[in-house]
Amino acid sequence: MRFKYTISLVFIVALVIIEKENNIISRVSDKLTRRQIPRIPEPSNFSRLALLKQHGSYASLSKLDSEFKHLKRRLDNYTKKMDNLQRGKKHIILMASTRTGSSFVGQFFNQQGKNMFYLYEPLWHVDTMLMLKTGQTNQSALAKAHRDVLQELLLCDFTLLESFIQPHPKNHITTTLFRRESSKSLCEKPVCSPFVKQVVERYPCNTRLCGPLNLTLASKSCHQKEYRAIKTVRVRQLGNLRPLVENPSLDVKFIQLVRDPRAVLASRMVAFSAKYKNWKKWAVNTGVSLHDVELKKLKANCDEIRASAELGLKQPDWLQRRYMLVRYEDIARYPMQKAAEMYGFTGIPFTPQVKQWILKNTQASKEARGVYSTQKNSAEHVEKWRFSIPFKLAKIVQQVCGSAMKLFGYRFVNNETMLTDKSISLIEEKNFK
């Protein structure tokens, strides 16, 4: 009699909790449809509880208790997620690989305004330290460190990152944060102190004038901002970042930036000439063979990019409305339109500051050539690589990276004539939705 009474009581409480959870979910869902923010996971399956209700016994009481605790934890998670959504916090990971224009696209977010906390390539420290320590790369250790550091940074916690910074920060003060000057948020008051009038127009700050970086201050400043974005060329698998989506304190979205692998290789051969010296020798000489290792590396790189994109485009439940694929070629040709689309996707306001920055940096001026090409010349600029590589290089990339190229809509060339024929565009118009 007494047990039965207890069981009913527990059930009433459990049902109240279920009801409360459902209310929260539907309230959040309403908001979601209104504001177009991502869907929250399905409510839980309560059929085990229903079973217990029918066959309630002393033995099942402890089971019930654990179910109850589980429910409570879920409720806490949803409450947290809801609070987070209501506060409008948003988290962006811009993932790319080297020479795909990610610094340029990162600026779209860096320039957003006072409410944005942007970090440029913080995982540089992780890779540098782990490679130094072990002499070689342990991919699974690296992937885990990447994921955990990104997760903490999006929550404004620099602790784990600090453990990778060398020399190790004392009292959370460092002078060696990689490319600090690329983050506006680390270069303005009060994080930059003493604050000195900005001298260099092109960079948001001059680290020498800012003095050492106080990471406690950086974290404080981060907490005060609604939007947080991190650009990285070091994440190899989008799937590796799933725990970030599942973290109830985060509302994270991914933008994957890709570029024609033939152009990427051409650009890397110039930018990283020592690392790519075998490629260069092979490209300009006949009778020199290319080592298998080089081809394997290229293939691994293309395969990783393709696998992440395939996962993202497939939109599994956990990635619903959280993934966007962008081609560098489209950004170079239609920067304003693409920026607007990216901002639309993130739900972050596309501010006049960003628009101005884009206008300024995509207009012709002597120092702003290169990546920052004009809108008028950009179509031409974007395909400039076609005149800097021999056909055999294009051909081998097509063989190794063919499936990625097909997925992203980059046209193959059959011969030298086609490679350098400007009247043929190698970029298919493609809408990734």
Ligand X SMILES: *[C@@H]1O[C@H](CO)[C@@H](O)[C@H](O)[C@H]1NC(C)=O
**Residue ranges that bind ligand X, judged by CB under 6 A:** 45, 47-48, 70, 73-74, 77, 138, 140-141, 144, 171, 173, 214, 216-217, 246-248, 414-415, 417-418
> Considering the complex, what minimum distance in angstroms separates the CB of residue 140 from ligand X?
5
Q: Give the residue with the Cβ less far from ligand X, 71 or 309.
A: 71
Burial grade of 152 (CB within 10 A; 0-12, 13-18, 19 or more): middle
Q: Judge residue 127's burial from the number of C-beta atoms within 10 Å of its C-beta, 0-12 exposed, 13-18 middle, 19 or more buried.
A: middle
Q: How many residues does the chain have?
A: 433
Q: How far is the CB of 426 from ligand X (least distance, A)?
A: 12
Name residues whose C-beta falls within 8 Å of residue 314's C-beta, 6 or more positions apart in sequence.
none
Element (H, E) at 141: helix 139-154
Q: Parallel, antiparallel, or unpaired: how do β-strands 90-95 and 173-174 relate?
A: unpaired
Judged by CB, which is closer to ligand X: 171, or 285? 171
Q: Of 7 and 191, which has the nearer Cβ to ligand X? A: 191
Q: Which is nearer to ligand X, 87 or 360 (CB)?
A: 87
- The nearer residue to ligand X, 112 or 247, going by C-beta atoms, is 247
Produce one character per residue of 333-343: b if its CB has 16 or more CB atoms within 10 Å, e if not: bbbeebbebbb
For the CB of residue 320, give the shortest distance to ligand X in the complex, in Å.
17
Q: How far is the CB of 376 from ligand X (least distance, A)?
A: 29
Closer to ligand X at the Cβ: 35 or 48? 48
CA quadruple 156, 192, 128, 110: dihedral sign: positive
| Cβ-closest position to ligand X | 141
Closest distance of CB 171 from ligand X, Å: 6
Strands (DSSP E) contained in 194-346 are 213-214, 227-232, 252-258, 323-327
CB of 85 to ligand X, least distance (A): 15
Q: Whole-angstrom Cα distance, residue 1 to residue 9?
A: 12
